[in-house]
């Protein structure tokens, strides 16, 4: 298991003591190269890599989506896709033949549809060309044809490194600690691996006091709870809400409490642990009221009244909660704003610096003439606000007014666009506010340790990489990036989008589509199952079921698209038309960079995959990326949008996608980026900047540096 985690998470191949046979080495390296993997240190090869060779290849294939068969509807894709009107007419004739003739002639498929030979050449299709449902024989024939085709000459190399077991253990422990110590949310999909690593290294290998992010603390609490380590559970529970998150984790629910949760049946010893923790809470009544409905449900199994003598504060708080007698801190704040006396509660807000930071704009707008007083008071407590929050605050005010909309990405990874309030702070106030926020952040960062005397190099490309916040619902994929990040796209090549799904509970239809926009985000065209071709773009055909695993592709000829008038942005989407939700079935998407794209070459070529990621959201459609043709960049989006329960399609989403595209294009410039974060560390910790990487002893870059964009857990743990 350790070797598997090291390979999937750290791109390390584990070595043991063994001989090295030159023929085995060449065979092993060539096999990995055929999958698009390059070994960084091939001189360290030995034959121990062959012990788990089958599992290694299996994991490497899964990482790039090459563990399944891809059979498009049109076997001649992309150069032999029929014209839309012609194909539609032929399909209608096929339906009429099947429904109007008592004994239609032709080949009968598994779904009882008869396909006349004079209407369709079945060898040109990977599924029933009339109903577009999968057929087992046509699918198997399609698999066979794909295997006979040539591979592309282009390779998107992924680098792996050989490491001995001791180094693998060391790197895995660092990975565990970095994720647990992260100052922001980590991917939910990491948690099973982290739990295994925690068991492997034991809980003594981490410092619980350094686990500061609430949801991560919850999963550590769950680990202790399941092993009945009650003292450790109590040490991690600072607030009543920590116990609610614990209940959600134990029951397999959403620890962000964004969804309804179930409560476990509590033993007497567990009840005492919870009641003791509640009794210690400093803001017990307010925290209970924040989730009043949940706590009233918990109380039915907790029975706080039975132990009122031992836990009197808790019993009294629950009694007031039932009777609606609790007045909260936030209610006092709201009353002050409503009565236009918000300045009078400044001293109260200072007691909670995080709340003061969130209320700053509202406070400054209500009292613009007293901004110096407000900001002076905030400066006195700003160092108690986490660096992550200060970084977000700095970017928010730095770019205020640049967009009429505000992007909200919720805990479920869904996007919501709201109109931004028209009121803006005066420029002088903003300048002073940015100064206060930056000084507080630099002061905090400076406490992390001095870099005096060290030479630091920062890759300028980090301007395009956003700080990877809100990773909770981030897709599991080869690339782990912050939303809004821009990655370079090789101009002149073909970008091939793909989606794969295998239905679980019933007939499921996903649709791969895209919309084109001009520089001003005006709609200029689309390609989908209703329109299979556009200038420089072609669709592989619509599949409407996936019992054997269905695949759809869209090719974008980047050189051709650059010459298309009024086409700057291309926004791909994956719609759930009917059937299973993304997260309830085997489902992934991604893109390839291709040189060879005629029907003599494989539709899916594993070594050309630049990114493959699992689709796990519960939205109606997914927006994975946006392509900026003029800049030659891919903007990483990874978001889900809610719509109707089924029958979602591109024609009904043009307006929404236009707004989302515009905001995601801006997001990369308005969100905190890794260059700024690195520069703050350089300045706060006293390092000297150098322009050449070779001159530095401390580096910030995309990969292979002391701090790298592809090591998200390290960024979240050490730089925030």
| In contact, 401 and 434? CB cutoff 8 Å | no
The stretch 266-276 carries a mean pLDDT of 88
What tokens were used for 192? 């099973």
Q: Is it the case that residue 414 has pLDDT exceeding 70?
A: no
Question: What is the H or E stretch that residue 273 is in?
Answer: helix 268-280
pLDDT at 645: 59
pLDDT at 639: 84
Question: What is the H or E stretch that residue 177 is in?
Answer: helix 165-180
Kindly state the DSSP code that residue 265 receives in the 8-state scheme: P
- 372 contact partners, CB below 8 Å, separation of at least 6: 432
The stretch 578-589 carries a mean pLDDT of 91
Whole-number Å distance between alpha carbons of 696 and 378: 37
Number of continuous H segments (helices) and E segments (strands) in the chain? 25, 23
Q: Tens digits of per-residue pLDDT, 225-248?
A: 988 888 888 888 888 999 888 988
How far is residue 122 from each of residues 73, 74, 117, 119, 299, measured CA to CA in Å?
10, 10, 8, 9, 64
What tokens were used for 658? 């236009």
Residue 1's Cβ-side half-sphere holds a number of Cα atoms within 13 Å equal to 10
574 DSSP β-pair partners: 512, 622
Whole-number Å distance between alpha carbons of 517 and 654: 10
Q: Tens digits of per-residue pLDDT, 464-482?
A: 999 998 787 788 888 888 8
| In contact, 629 and 488? CB cutoff 8 Å | no
pLDDT at 609: 95
Identify the residue whose tokens are 């202790």. Answer: 224
Identify the three-state secondary structure at position 294. Answer: helix
Identify the residue whose tokens are 């007031």. Answer: 320
pLDDT at 642: 73
Whole-number Å distance between alpha carbons of 147 and 595: 19
pLDDT at 193: 92
Q: Is it the case that residue 215 has pLDDT exceeding 60?
A: yes
When pLDDT is cut at 50, 70 and 90, the band that residue 583 belongs to is confident
Identify the three-state secondary structure at position 46. Answer: coil
Q: Tens digits of per-residue pLDDT, 93-111?
A: 999 998 888 778 889 999 9
Find the radius of gyration of the CA atoms of the chain.
28
The stretch 112-127 carries a mean pLDDT of 92
pLDDT at 659: 81
What tokens were used for 448? 């992390």
What tokens were used for 680? 């703050």
Buried b (16+ CB within 10 A) or exposed e, 654-687: eeebbebbbbbbbbbebbbbbbbbbbbbbbbbeb
Q: Is it the case that residue 553 has pLDDT exceeding 60?
A: yes
Kindly state the DSSP code that residue 535 receives in the 8-state scheme: T
Whole-number Å distance between alpha carbons of 52 and 14: 10
Q: Is it the case that residue 327 has pLDDT exceeding 90?
A: no
The stretch 41-62 carries a mean pLDDT of 93
When pLDDT is cut at 50, 70 and 90, the band that residue 320 belongs to is confident
486-669 CATH, one of 2.30.30.90, 1.10.10.1800, 2.60.60.30, 1.10.630.10? 2.60.60.30
Report cis status (omega within 30 of 0) of the bond before 78: yes
Whole-number Å distance between alpha carbons of 594 and 608: 6
What tokens were used for 367? 């009292």
| In contact, 363 and 394? CB cutoff 8 Å | no
538 DSSP β-pair partners: 533, 555
pLDDT at 411: 63
Q: Is it the case that residue 297 has pLDDT exceeding 60?
A: yes
User: How, if at all, do strands 688-689 and 114-115 pair?
Assistant: unpaired
pLDDT at 139: 96
Enter the pTM of the model.
Answer: 0.89
Q: Comparing 72-76, 159-163, 219-223, 642-646, which segment has the lowest mean pLDDT?
A: 642-646
Q: Which of 701, 665, 694 is nearest to 517 (CA)?
A: 665
When pLDDT is cut at 50, 70 and 90, the band that residue 643 belongs to is low
pLDDT at 105: 85
pLDDT at 253: 81
Order of strands across the sheet with 537-539? 533-534, 537-539, 550-557, 494-502, 586-594, 609-614
Whole-number Å distance between alpha carbons of 191 and 205: 17
Percent residues over pLDDT 70 in the chain: 97
Q: Which of 370, 421, 366, 374 is nearest to 396 (CA)?
A: 421
pLDDT at 669: 78
What tokens were used for 564? 């298309």
Q: Please state whether 228 falls in left (phi above 0), alpha (psi between -120 and 50) or beta.
A: left
- Dihedral Cα 601, 605, 607, 611, nearest 10 deg: 130
Angle of helix 240-250 relative to helix 292-302, nearest 10 degrees, comes to: 70
Whole-number Å distance between alpha carbons of 555 and 592: 9
Per-residue 3-state assignment (H helix, E strand, C coil) for 437-503:
HHHHHHHHHHCCCCCCCCEEEECHHHHHCECCCCCCCCCCECCCCCCCCEEECCCCCEEEEEEEEEC
Q: Which of 244, 245, 258, 193 is nearest to 216 (CA)?
A: 245
What tokens were used for 253? 């629910």
What tokens were used for 394? 């700095």
When pLDDT is cut at 50, 70 and 90, the band that residue 81 belongs to is very high
CATH 2.60.60.30 spans which residues of the chain?
Answer: 486-669
What tokens were used for 585? 């079935």
H helical segments located in 339-386: 346-350, 353-358, 360-366, 371-381
pLDDT at 653: 75
Task: Work out whether the CA dihedral 52, 54, 59, 60 comes out positive or negative.
Answer: positive
Whole-number Å distance between alpha carbons of 649 and 542: 12
What 693-696 contacts at long range (C-beta under 8 Å, 24+ apart), as own/partner pairs, is: 693/457, 693/459, 695/455, 695/457, 696/455, 696/456, 696/457
Per-residue 3-state assignment (H helix, E strand, C coil) for 646-679:
CCCCHHHCHHHHHHHHHHHHHHHHHCCEHHHHHH
- 378 contact partners, CB below 8 Å, separation of at least 6: 356, 357, 360, 436
What is the CA angle 659-664-666, rounded to 5? 100
**More reliable by pLDDT, 408 or 426:** 426
The stretch 24-29 carries a mean pLDDT of 93
How far is residue 548 from each of residues 135, 136, 181, 539, 551, measured CA to CA in Å?
8, 7, 42, 20, 10
- 396 contact partners, CB below 8 Å, separation of at least 6: none
**More reliable by pLDDT, 253 or 224:** 224
| In contact, 541 and 132? CB cutoff 8 Å | yes
Average pLDDT, the chain: 89
pLDDT at 492: 73
- Dihedral Cα 642, 644, 650, 656, nearest 10 deg: -50
Identify the three-state secondary structure at position 43. Answer: helix
User: How, if at all, do strands 37-39 and 158-164 pair?
Assistant: parallel
Identify the residue whose tokens are 């002050």. Answer: 336
- Strand stretches in 569-630, DSSP E: 569-578, 586-594, 609-614, 621-628
């Amino acid at each position: 298991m350790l070797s598997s985690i090291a390979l999937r998470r750290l791109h390390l191949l584990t070595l043991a003591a063994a001989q090295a046979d030159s023929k085995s080495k060449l065979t092993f390296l060539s096999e990995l190269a055929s999958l698009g993997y390059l070994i960084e240190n091939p001189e360290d090869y030995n034959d121990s890599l062959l012990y788990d060779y089958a599992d290694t290849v299996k994991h490497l294939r899964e990482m790039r989506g090459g563990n399944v068969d891809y059979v498009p509807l049109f076997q001649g894709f992309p150069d032999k896709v029929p014209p839309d009107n012609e194909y539609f007419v032929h399909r209608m004739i096929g339906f009429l033949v099947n429904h109007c003739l008592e004994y239609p002639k032709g080949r009968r498929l598994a779904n009882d549809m008869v396909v006349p030979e004079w209407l369709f050449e079945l060898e040109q299709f990977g599924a029933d060309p009339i109903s577009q449902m999968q057929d087992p024989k046509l699918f198997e024939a399609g698999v066979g044809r794909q295997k006979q085709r040539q591979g592309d000459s282009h390779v998107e190399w992924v680098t792996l490194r050989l490491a001995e077991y001791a180094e693998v253990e060391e790197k895995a422990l660092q990975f565990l600690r970095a994720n647990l110590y992260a100052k922001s949310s980590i991917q939910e999909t990491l948690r099973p691996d982290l739990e295994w690593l925690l068991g492997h290294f034991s809980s003594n290998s981490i410092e619980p006091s350094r686990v500061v992010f609430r949801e991560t603390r919850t999963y550590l609490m769950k680990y202790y709870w399941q092993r009945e380590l009650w003292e450790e559970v109590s040490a991690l529970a600072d607030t009543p809400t920590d116990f609610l998150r614990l209940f959600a984790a134990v029951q397999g629910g959403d620890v962000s409490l964004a969804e309804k949760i179930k409560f476990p049946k509590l033993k007497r010893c567990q009840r005492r642990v919870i009641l003791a923790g509640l009794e210690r809470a400093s803001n017990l009544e307010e925290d209970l009221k924040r989730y009043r409905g949940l706590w009233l449900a918990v109380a039915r199994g907790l029975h706080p009244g039975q132990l009122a003598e031992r836990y009197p504060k808790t019993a009294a708080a629950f009694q007031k909660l039932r009777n609606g007698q609790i007045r909260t801190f936030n209610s006092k704040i709201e009353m002050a704003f409503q009565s236009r006396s918000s300045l009078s509660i400044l001293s109260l807000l200072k007691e909670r610096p995080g709340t003061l930071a969130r209320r700053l704009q509202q406070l400054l707008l209500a009292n613009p003439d007293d901004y110096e007083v407000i900001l002076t008071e905030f400066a006195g407590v700003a160092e108690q606000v986490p660096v992550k929050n200060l970084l977000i605050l700095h970017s928010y005010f730095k770019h205020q007014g640049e967009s009429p909309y505000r992007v909200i990405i919720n805990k479920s990874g869904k996007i919501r666009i709201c109109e931004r309030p028209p009121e803006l702070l005066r420029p002088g106030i903003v300048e002073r506010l940015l100064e206060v926020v930056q000084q507080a952040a630099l002061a905090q960062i400076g406490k992390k340790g001095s870099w005096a005397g060290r030479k630091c190099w920062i890759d300028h490309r980090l301007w395009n990489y956003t700080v990877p916040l809100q990773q909770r619902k981030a897709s599991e994929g080869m690339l782990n990036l912050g939303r809004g990040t821009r990655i370079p796209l090789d101009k002149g090549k073909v970008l091939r989008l793909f989606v794969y799904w295998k239905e679980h509970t019933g007939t499921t239809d996903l649709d791969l589509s895209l919309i084109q926009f001009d520089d001003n985000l005006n709609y200029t065209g689309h390609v989908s199952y209703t329109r299979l071709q556009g200038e420089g773009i072609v669709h592989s055909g619509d599949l409407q079921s996936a019992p054997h695993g269905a695949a759809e592709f869209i090719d974008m000829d980047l050189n051709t698209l650059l010459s298309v008038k009024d086409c700057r942005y291309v926004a791909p989407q994956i719609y759930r038309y009917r059937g299973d939700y993304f997260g309830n079935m085997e489902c992934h998407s991604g893109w390839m960079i291709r040189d060879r794209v005629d029907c003599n070459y494989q539709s899916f070529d594993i070594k050309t995959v630049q990114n493959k990621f699992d689709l796990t959201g519960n939205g109606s459609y997914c927006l994975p990326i946006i392509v900026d043709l003029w800049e030659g960049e891919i903007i990483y989006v990874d978001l889900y949008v809610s719509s109707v329960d089924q029958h979602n399609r591109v024609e009904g989403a043009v307006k929404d996608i236009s707004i989302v595209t515009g905001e995601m294009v801006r997001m990369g410039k308005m969100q905190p980026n890794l260059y700024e974060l690195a520069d703050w560390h350089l300045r706060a910790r006293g390092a000297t900047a150098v322009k050449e990487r070779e001159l530095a002893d401390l580096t910030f870059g995309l990969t292979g540096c002391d701090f790298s964009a592809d090591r998200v857990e390290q960024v979240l743990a050490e730089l925030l």
